[in-house]
Structure 1
Amino acid sequence: MSNIKHSIVSNNGAGTTHQVHSAALKSLPRDMIALSDYSAEQIAGLIESAADFKHKAKYEGQAFHPDQPLKGKTIGLIFSKRSTRTRVASETSAAYLGGHALFLGKDDIQLGVNETLRDSAQVISSMVDGIFARVGPHSDITTLAKYSSVPVINALCEENHPTQILADLLTIWEVFGKRRPNARGILDVFRGLRLAWVGDANNIAFEIMTTMPKCGISVNMCSPAGYPIPEYVRNLAATGAQTTDAEVKYFSDPIEAVNGADIIVTDTWVSMGQEDEKAQRIRDFAGYQVSKEMAQKGNANKDWIFMHCLPRKAEEVTDDVFYSDRSVVFQEAENRKWTTIATFNALLGKKSN
């Protein structure tokens, strides 16, 4: 095995990046529903900002943002689905920026139960300065955004998970930026990389497909027969790939899918609300467990890394991959905080920042 460990950003040192794309942050959409609404330059600007926050907080001792861009502001955290990483990241991000996070769980408010989403959006947005919402159907997040008077950030819905993919991109930059020291910026680091997705056709897969090709990362998408990628996602992926000469390929055989991969990614095979389908899904995903043997048989690139948004189950990836030097899953999880800080600062903070 090559010396992968030394190319991964560790907890005792981190790189910084020049703010090449900071100007792009001045023209962001009001809301963050999906990264398909953002340009590659805007996404790169958010990654640069997140990397800067991480470096200052972890390696320069900046415990709080000195300008407190969210001072006096409240972010409503609407969570219809439970979470670990998203909740911790959002509450600590608000605190770092000087704001207040108001957690509103499914048992705390009447979201879509005794009150319509439209009414809830109007009421809640009249009392907070931003909404960070983790919901079920995609229509829930778009309805909140439509009727909210303040910015709405998608913390997860059935079709998208933009803050997760921002964290993934920050992690990819941290790893491959150190391997490509002559790259001129984040997008230059991404250009030419290949990511293999081996798993369910779910919201993470959709967000990867509609984001990474336009940032220069080719995607090998692999899911079993009966778990198709929607046509609109395929179209967005193809359009993004045309702008960067990245490739988007589709597979049902994981061994074929990991060929030439720099990054191998999977996720849960059974998402929240699909528990009744578990037995059938386990059968359908037979052969999809990410392993060293899969990467070797498929001829993944020598220094491939493994990513997973967590929580992980044993059938999805072997222990000798998940806990190996190839795995950046805990770095990836931590980066949820830094990219959430960057997103809150850009969309909800003082515009002078």
Structure 2
Amino acid sequence: MCALRGYVRLALGALLALLAGGAWANGYVDVLDLPAKPSALAVRSPLLDLDLAGNRLVAVGQRGHIVYSDDAGQSWQQAEVPVSVDLNAVHFANPSLGWAVGNDGVILHSDDGGRHWRKQLDGRQIGTLLIEHYSALAQLEPDNEQWALLAAEGERLKTEGADKPFLDVWFADAQTGFAVGVFNLILATRDGGQTWDPLQDRTDNPMGLHLTALNSTGDALYLVGEQGLLRRWDSEAKRFAAVPSPYEGSYFGVVGKPGEVLVYGLRGHVFHSRDGGQNWQQLDSGLQVSITAATKDRGGRYQLFTQAGHRLQVEDDLSLRLMPQQGQAPVAGAALSAKGELVLVGGRGVRSLPGE
């Protein structure tokens, strides 16, 4: 068995070397440098998130596809994108300025409402950012072991290359924003993405858990992740401080409005708080499937969606009502169009549900 396994490994290695050589001979280009290919099927391909740029809908997904609609989702056009990596999240600070993040540590920016995009950063630079930032802090505070450990983390990222994805992005305004991802990967900018600073030391995340989503309720900014990670931005301390978590499983998203917040995630778990996350009430979804997207309808009611395509409406008494619908498809992102329709994206592209 050992000899056979060794032979298979040698054969596989030879095959990979041959394929790699052929790729270079044929003009191989890294997906971080390869523009997304125009495709008439982009709107039907897997899309992972969407947001509003004013009245325009902008959706992002696999192979660098970004599509936008100016008629509430009736028709779509494909944007010009400089990369072909999968894009996981998009957020617009205003009708013109938006950011998208994805695999290989990529951060994209648009200043024309999502029609054209340029790359601000990718994973090939993130390791160096950490090394420079935390090495400088280590020189100022040589007795603080945390800085040396984080600088070493930068060395590891630099050695491993551009393989760490960002999972979400959020901007408070045209200048201030955050991008978060796997293994406590978090960067912040105060100049619209021209420069990015590591924030790994400001997440109360010693285990390096994945950061899956962040969102504002209008009066607070929340960050969630795996294994019950739940944080709230402390503007005075300039850090994401821990708040009590009612669940030890993974959270996939946050939605809310001033005075309240909902977090949701694995196996149909949903929790609601009206006191800044100090106390939580579990809402019974009646489902064992993960909740993967949420938005608010025209009446301000929360609409939740699952990876199997269920739609749950949060009623005034905080009960969850399973809404009837014709046909279901996995949902990765949701938004309310200018016409009041619920626009959903997922593995089958874009679809719309009538507004209530």
Give the TM-score taking structure 1 as reference length: 0.29
- The structure where strand makes up a greater share of residues is 2
Greater percentage in helix: 1
Q: Which structure: larger Rg?
A: 2
- Give TM-score, length-normalised by structure 2: 0.29
Higher relative CO (Cα under 8 Å, sequence separation at least 6) belongs to 1
